[in-house]
Amino acid sequence: MTELFDAVFARGRAAEAVSSRAWLDALLRVEAALAEAAADTGYVSREAADAVVSAAMPENFDLAAVAASAADIGNPVAGVVDRLRELVSEEYQEAVHFTATSQDILDTAMMLVAKDAVAAVMEDLRACEDALLDHLVREEWEHEPRLWGRTLLQHAEPIGLTNLNGRWNFGIRQARMALEGLGFPGALSGPVGVNWSKRMIPEKDLRAHYLRRLGMDPGLYLGHTSRGPVVRIGAAAAEAAGACAKVAVDVILLSQNEIGEVREGRPGGSTSMPHKRNPVAATCARACAARTPGLVATLYAAMPQELQRSPGLWHSEWETLSDLLRLTGSAAAWLRECLEGLQIDAEAMERNLREAEG
Amino acid sequence: MTELFDAVFARGRAAEAVSSRAWLDALLRVEAALAEAAADTGYVSREAADAVVSAAMPENFDLAAVAASAADIGNPVAGVVDRLRELVSEEYQEAVHFTATSQDILDTAMMLVAKDAVAAVMEDLRACEDALLDHLVREEWEHEPRLWGRTLLQHAEPIGLTNLNGRWNFGIRQARMALEGLGFPGALSGPVGVNWSKRMIPEKDLRAHYLRRLGMDPGLYLGHTSRGPVVRIGAAAAEAAGACAKVAVDVILLSQNEIGEVREGRPGGSTSMPHKRNPVAATCARACAARTPGLVATLYAAMPQELQRSPGLWHSEWETLSDLLRLTGSAAAWLRECLEGLQIDAEAMERNLREAEG
Amino acid sequence: MTELFDAVFARGRAAEAVSSRAWLDALLRVEAALAEAAADTGYVSREAADAVVSAAMPENFDLAAVAASAADIGNPVAGVVDRLRELVSEEYQEAVHFTATSQDILDTAMMLVAKDAVAAVMEDLRACEDALLDHLVREEWEHEPRLWGRTLLQHAEPIGLTNLNGRWNFGIRQARMALEGLGFPGALSGPVGVNWSKRMIPEKDLRAHYLRRLGMDPGLYLGHTSRGPVVRIGAAAAEAAGACAKVAVDVILLSQNEIGEVREGRPGGSTSMPHKRNPVAATCARACAARTPGLVATLYAAMPQELQRSPGLWHSEWETLSDLLRLTGSAAAWLRECLEGLQIDAEAMERNLREAEG
Amino acid sequence: MTELFDAVFARGRAAEAVSSRAWLDALLRVEAALAEAAADTGYVSREAADAVVSAAMPENFDLAAVAASAADIGNPVAGVVDRLRELVSEEYQEAVHFTATSQDILDTAMMLVAKDAVAAVMEDLRACEDALLDHLVREEWEHEPRLWGRTLLQHAEPIGLTNLNGRWNFGIRQARMALEGLGFPGALSGPVGVNWSKRMIPEKDLRAHYLRRLGMDPGLYLGHTSRGPVVRIGAAAAEAAGACAKVAVDVILLSQNEIGEVREGRPGGSTSMPHKRNPVAATCARACAARTPGLVATLYAAMPQELQRSPGLWHSEWETLSDLLRLTGSAAAWLRECLEGLQIDAEAMERNLREAEG
């Protein structure tokens, strides 16, 4: 954690999953899998593939140098490939970056990175659901607490606490299920995206071996300029962030001094007012989520990618998807913290009902 | 068609499906189904339900008057209910708007409207797919035409025409399948969204009958402040629009005078330059689609709906989702027109290849 | 008012200013001014110009027919020009659409429409400011009322009512001043945007006469593909909407039953809960404003307009800017209604302070 | 440069201006100026102020530790203040963070950071304008080159090269002037934003001294929940990015092999196709700019900040504005590189005209 706002916006495992280091690792895993698949299918020798696999270790790569290479061709794959060629002996060069184009490697790495980040988000969402279920089982309650149902922030009719918790749980679980339904397709389509080159023998099915090596579903396909799978990940992430924000906003509202029906277990202070009990976790969850709708719009706006590779729209996806997953993961991590420590004040709920009815 | 830009932005059946008239019809269908379900479950008499069904006919409602009613409570359901009460005789009043809240009716109507619009979009997308398949079977071609694969808008390697068409088809088909996977849940949760009221007997399952009457899946649920189903429809629509825009942009690029590999069958002119052959259908498809990412962001930003009904975020969905579906439908309708008439110039493709190789 | 949601989203004069009818009127004013300017500069006879001016009357044009014409060239100017040619006798045809291209006419009309809509927004904003100042001068208050300052929705320190009102006023006034600073440039650049044609004699300065006839500043320039002036209008509108939403949200929060420090003068009811006193005006103001950020993003995304006229990005501006201005105007109109009737409960403010201090 | 995509998206001086390091420096400058102003106005001794100024040196602060502190109160100012208190001797503690709240410090620092970043953007924009002017003065051209004016990407009429260059220049210059017109107000409003505390003597005007010490205009005001100045910076940045993207897209289009009227001086290669001459600088400029509309929407969506400090919307601005300025700066830096090396092929322009006319 070295960046000034990371404690707020890069919380939880998803932030690590989309870090530069994780991206570089993923690029190397993809190049290694490609070499192995080329050996599996007999295009290159097993020794050559092994040489690439040995070379494609993160410790052999300087992240800054790889990053700098992107200035020349517009993406960092060139730096990875150049360094691999340096590391692999002359006789095994054919196994490096075999028939691939930089978009194949980067797209596949992006999907590996996204898959890890989504798994992290789902874990925190599930913890939120568990925390909400826990709050329903309190020994000390003889009866289910009741509280005001509030519509347009005005008293409407009483509801049971299970209605509140249950609705929160429902939104989060639905969002988690949307994430679980996502596909993470790999790409190996070659220079012009047509899955073919003069050197390629279709029956050997290099692509299937490559995807199998990466644990990816060969039935899924990510076209160089067909970006449905990218926007679908972005959409499910933004839905998860929105579902977290809905609960966070409710916690903030119910924590207001005059209402006081819930409070965070570890509220935050203030540099000027030591008495403050701010709902910091809910506040940060909301802040993270508030940044996601704009990012998901960027992904949709990047869909009309021209002909066989877009000059710029493709590039605009990389950090956008990373940021979106990081912020969704941070929202989920903050909400988990908020809900695991949440204190529910059933007496305040009853008091608010009674006073308004009186 | 009375609005100045409707020929561009309200093309195709989706525009009708989201019109004010279609919304009002849907609101009435929902009130009618609710009355029938109340009779099905024995809460009200069949005669009372029949009276509501008879009253709930579009010809009994003045759209402007219903619309004006929204100024009082912030949505047009009050106007529908008030008019229904006028139309139904005193003895059957209990069957009007039985146990429902305005959000139940409006949300369910929104889903009926969306379902129709999505069906219209899918029909045009399928026609685009068919048109693309047709272009692959031309008697006059002995061999598959080849053309430049262009990456970053620069010549890369030759591809076959099937690669171009196939990729276009793939993106559109994927988007159509995402639309086909959507759910359209109805809502009947009552004033505070807890699916319960003092008058309600759970075993009677009013909600199941109501949804069955509307042809909606009772296994799906739309919470008053759990808006996952809404953003998922928005996301799939925006993906469809983006998939259309991708093809439209490619058509525009390949239609450039110096390239000339495709041209629209019915190109547009100019008020100042009669010689122009503008790719108008592709241009309009792109224009429609360019407006969708911002709208989908609005839907995601509306997710954190407060407590039991949001003061404003809920309202922000209605026209946004309508506009999104209308524009997606228009993009698909324009692309269909573009592709059904598209002329592919295999000679120009070969010439461009030859000249660059020479 | 014929559309189902217009009472919420098409409130105030801005909605009329951006209506199809207003757009058509503006297109006709521009064509008329162009003919007059052509006579002013001696390119055409005064009689010819007069013939165009007489023809360019709204009653001579069928909106639906003009709208339908857009299907052919992708914008409705062709329909206007064709109808003008029908209406003007053969000898005066040269004065119709003199040297202009459709984008000149449409862009200039868009600016006239926007200028009117912005004036309407400013009027409502100024009324909001006046209402806020009125609330500070209440005879019955001996001392300035105090209330809780609330940060992160938690009690912080007491503030005076002037602090609350003053801050609200400040945000609205700043937004109004941003609107007042806007420029509304006209366009007359000809087919390829170079302000020149074979028939043109620079010294005659047709453009200056045309703009003068329209009351537009000849020092401002709107390039066919330099869209700064368009996004600047959109940005100032979105700022105004955001400033309105800030106040609306505060009104909603301070209207909560447990806080009760303000309430709307004409609160709204509910179809299911007759006791409800919903802050409907503030809710609708917020709903309108919530739809603006996505629209302003669409305008920025449309900036990279290709070469001398964009295939689609230009088109995406028309309804987007109209909608943005309409929604901003509706937000301002709703907020005005909210603030003009707002009841401030100084006793509740004091009570909330006292109870928390106790 | 340590991050994987920084060569593309963190190019130019703006990226440094918004770095974590720059933010921390700005926070420290603000705390130092506050102490000095407190001494200027006699609230604290000069010795106490000097002690704070000496302590507030970047080398005394561990960025990671400050960042980590944000987990407790939701922003990193607490970490800065705590560390200052450690560094300053007991007797001078009163001069630390005098009467300020964390939002005062963070908002003022954000404006200092933004001001530096905007200056960097303007410098690169000006260099773009210079490069475009240079391209108009080529000794070898006897006559101004002519090229196709292209509307909807179709040949329209010939234009002169000055028309192309001049239009590009115009859009960039307008965007630079919008940046030049920006205000960067500082904040010192205290805990509840009312510019007042029990300890405060209005006549002393601490705020004016504080702003003067920071070189900021005391006539400008940034309210804790009146965010007009923030969105205005975001809007001008997004306009600049859009203006850069417009030129970048044109360069990409005119660089197409079949057109070949311009080419970049340092085109990029490919990992799979060594013959490629990709317009990498224009591609990267476009990629950076494509990410800005979504970010500017996030800023507008954050405007309705609740009461005296928003739980989350305020926080959502920090990285969003930083990212927006970084990406705008990168777009400008890439475009500068593109235009400074741009080769204009007047022969190709003439040939394209001739061939189409023939």
D309 is catalytic: yes
- Among candidates A170, A192, A300 on the partner chain, residue whose Cβ is nearest the Cβ of B223: A170
CA distances to B22, B25, B30, B208 from B110, in Å: 10, 11, 10, 18
Q: How confident is the model at residue A202 (pLDDT cuts 50, 70, 90)?
A: low
Q: Write down the pLDDT at residue D358.
A: 59
- The mean per-residue pLDDT over the stretch C85-109 comes to 96
- Among candidates C77, C283, C301 on the partner chain, residue whose Cβ is nearest the Cβ of B315: C283
Residue C293 has pLDDT above 90, yes or no: yes
Q: Are the C-beta atoms of B4 and C23 separated by less than 8 Å?
A: yes
What is the least distance, in Å, from the CA of B107 to any CA of chain D? 24
Q: Write down the pLDDT at residue A327.
A: 98
Residue D154 has pLDDT above 80, yes or no: yes
Residue type at position D193: G
Look at C191 and B50; give whichever has higher pLDDT: B50
- The mean per-residue pLDDT over the stretch C289-315 comes to 98
Q: What is the DSSP letter of B278?
A: B
Residue C326 has pLDDT above 50, yes or no: yes
Exposed, middle or buried by CB within 10 Å (0-12, 13-18, 19+), for A2?
exposed
Residue C156 to residue D239, Cβ atoms within 8 A: no
Residue D202 has pLDDT above 70, yes or no: no
Residue B255 to residue D154, Cβ atoms within 8 A: yes
Q: Which helix (H) or strand (E) holds B156?
A: strand B154-160
Residue A256 to residue C301, Cβ atoms within 8 A: no
Q: Write down the pLDDT at residue D2.
A: 61
Q: Write down the pLDDT at residue A245.
A: 98
Q: Write down the pLDDT at residue D275.
A: 77
Question: CA nearest C279 in A: which residue?
Answer: A152
ipTM value? 0.96
What is the least distance, in Å, from the CA of C268 to any CA of chain A? 10
- Among candidates C152, C157, C252 on the partner chain, residue whose Cβ is nearest the Cβ of A153: C252
- The mean per-residue pLDDT over the stretch D225-238 comes to 98
Q: Write down the pLDDT at residue D110.
A: 98
Q: Give the mean pLDDT of chain A.
A: 93
Q: Write down the pLDDT at residue C70.
A: 92
- The mean per-residue pLDDT over the stretch C52-60 comes to 98
Question: CA nearest D287 in B: which residue?
Answer: B152
Residue C340 has pLDDT above 80, yes or no: yes
Residue C269 has pLDDT above 80, yes or no: no
Give dist(CA A267, CA A276) in Å, integer: 8
- The mean per-residue pLDDT over the stretch A174-194 comes to 92
- The mean per-residue pLDDT over the stretch D304-332 comes to 98
Residue C209 has pLDDT above 70, yes or no: yes
- The mean per-residue pLDDT over the stretch C95-109 comes to 96
- What are chain D's partners, defined as 3 or more CB pairs within 8 angstroms? A, B, C
- What are chain A's partners, defined as 3 or more CB pairs within 8 angstroms? B, C, D
Q: Write down the pLDDT at residue C203.
A: 64
Q: How confident is the model at residue C300 (pLDDT cuts 50, 70, 90)?
A: very high
Catalytic residue among C19, C126, C309, C316: C309
Give dist(CA D220, CA D229) in Å, integer: 9
Task: At D171, list the tokens.
Answer: 């859009």
Q: Write down the pLDDT at residue A190.
A: 83
List, in order of start, the domains of chain D with CATH numbers. Answer: 6-357 (1.20.200.10)
**Residue for token digits 């706002």?**
A5
Chain CA centroid to CA D18, Å = 7
- Give residue-wise pLDDT tens across range D2-36: 699 999 999 989 999 999 999 999 999 999 999 99
Question: Which residues of chain A does B170 touch, with a Cβ-Cβ cutoff of 8 Å?
Answer: 221, 223, 226
What is the least distance, in Å, from the CA of B27 to any CA of chain C? 11
Phi, psi of D278 (to 5 degrees): -80, 140
Question: Which residues of chain B does A328 touch, with a Cβ-Cβ cutoff of 8 Å?
Answer: none
What is the least distance, in Å, from the CA of B23 to any CA of chain C? 8
What is the least distance, in Å, from the CA of B79 to any CA of chain C? 9
- Give residue-wise pLDDT tens across range B279-310: 999 999 999 999 999 999 999 999 999 999 99
**Residue for token digits 């006709």?**
C28
Q: Write down the pLDDT at residue A107.
A: 98
- pTM for the model: 0.97
Catalytic residue among D226, D270, D291, D310: D270
Residue D1 has pLDDT above 60, yes or no: no
State the Rg of chain A over Cα: 25
Q: Write down the pLDDT at residue B1.
A: 43
B309 is catalytic: yes
Q: Write down the pLDDT at residue C1.
A: 43
Lowest pLDDT segment from A103-107, C184-188, D190-194, D243-247: D190-194
- The mean per-residue pLDDT over the stretch A207-211 comes to 94
Q: Which helix (H) or strand (E) holds C83?
A: helix C77-87
Q: How confident is the model at residue D269 (pLDDT cuts 50, 70, 90)?
A: confident
Q: Are the C-beta atoms of C41 and C32 separated by less than 8 Å?
A: no
Which residues in chain B come in under a pLDDT of 50? 1
Longest dimension (CA), chain D: 89
- In a mutagenesis test of the C interface, which of A258, A261, A276, A355 is the best target, namely the one with the most C β-carbons within 10 Å? A258
- Among candidates C170, C174, C304 on the partner chain, residue whose Cβ is nearest the Cβ of D249: C304
What is the least distance, in Å, from the CA of C307 to any CA of chain A? 16
Lowest pLDDT segment from B274-283, C94-103, C119-128: B274-283
SS (H, E, C) chain A: CCCCCHHHHCCCHHHHHCCHHHHHHHHHHHHHHHHHHHHHCCCCCHHHHHHHHHHCCHHHCCHHHHHHHHHHHCCCHHHHHHHHHHHCCHHHHHHCCCCCCHHHHHHHHHHHHHHHHHHHHHHHHHHHHHHHHHHHCCCCCCCCCEEEEEECCEEEEEEEHHHHHHHHHHHHHHHHHHHHCCCCCCCCCCCCCCCCCCCCCHHHCHHHHHHHHCCCCCCCCCECCECHHHHHHHHHHHHHHHHHHHHHHHHHHHCCCCCCCEECCCCECCCCCCCCCECHHHHHHHHHHHCHHHHHHHHHHCCCCCCCECCCCCHHHHHHHHHHHHHHHHHHHHHHHHHHCCEECHHHHHHHHHHHHC
Q: Write down the pLDDT at residue D268.
A: 85
Q: Which of C194, C191, C201 is nearest to C221 (CA)?
A: C194
- Give residue-wise pLDDT tens across range D75-129: 999 999 999 999 999 999 999 999 999 999 999 999 999 999 999 999 999 999 9
- In a mutagenesis test of the C interface, which of D222, D246, D247, D320 is the best target, namely the one with the most C β-carbons within 10 Å? D246
Residue B278 to residue D152, Cβ atoms within 8 A: yes
Q: Which of A156, A355, A187 is nearest to A259 (CA)?
A: A355
- Give residue-wise pLDDT tens across range A98-155: 999 999 999 999 999 999 999 999 999 999 999 998 877 666 777 889 999 999 999 9
Catalytic residue among A232, A309, A316, A354: A309
Q: How confident is the model at residue C277 (pLDDT cuts 50, 70, 90)?
A: confident
Question: CA nearest C64 in B: which residue?
Answer: B2
Question: CA nearest A298 in D: which residue?
Answer: D294
Longest dimension (CA), chain B: 89
Residues in chain D: 358
Q: Write down the pLDDT at residue D267.
A: 86
- In a mutagenesis test of the B interface, which of A151, A315, A328 is the best target, namely the one with the most B β-carbons within 10 Å? A151
Q: Write down the pLDDT at residue A198.
A: 54
